[in-house]
Chain A
Amino acid sequence: MARIALALLAGLVFGAGIAVSGMINPAKVLNFFDLAGSWDPSLAFVMGGALIVTAIGYRVVLQRPKPLLDETFHLPTARRIDLPLVSGAAVFGIGWGITGFCPGGAVPALGLGQPRALIFVTSMLAGIALARFLRGGLAGRARSRTA
Chain B
Amino acid sequence: MTEFTPVASFLGGTMIGLAAVLLMAVHGRIAGMTGILTGLLPPLAADWAWRAAFIVGAIGAPALIVALAGRSAIAFESSMPALWLVAGGLLVGFGVHFASGCTSGHGVCGLARLSPRSMAATVTFMAATAATVFFVRHVLGGL
Contacts and interface: CB of A to CB of B under 8 A. Distances in A.
> Are chains A and B native binding partners rather than an unrelated pairing?
yes
Interface of A: 3-28, 30-31, 33-38, 40-43, 45-55, 57-58, 61-62, 64, 66-70, 72-76, 78-81, 84-105, 107-114, 116, 119-132, 135
11 contacts: A6-B27, A7-B27, A7-B53, A14-B104, A18-B61, A28-B77, A70-B28, A85-B100, A95-B92, A107-B33, A132-B41
A128 B7 CA distance: 34
Contacts of B93: 95, 123-131
B127 A93 contact: yes
Contact of A35 (B25, B32, B130): B130
B137 A88 contact: no
Interface in B95-143: 95-100, 102-104, 106-113, 115-117, 120-122, 124-138, 143
Nearest to A70: B28
Given A10-B23, A15-B60, A53-B20, 12 more contacts: A6-B22, A7-B49, A7-B57, A13-B61, A15-B59, A37-B137, A41-B6, A49-B12, A76-B30, A90-B128, A93-B132, A100-B78
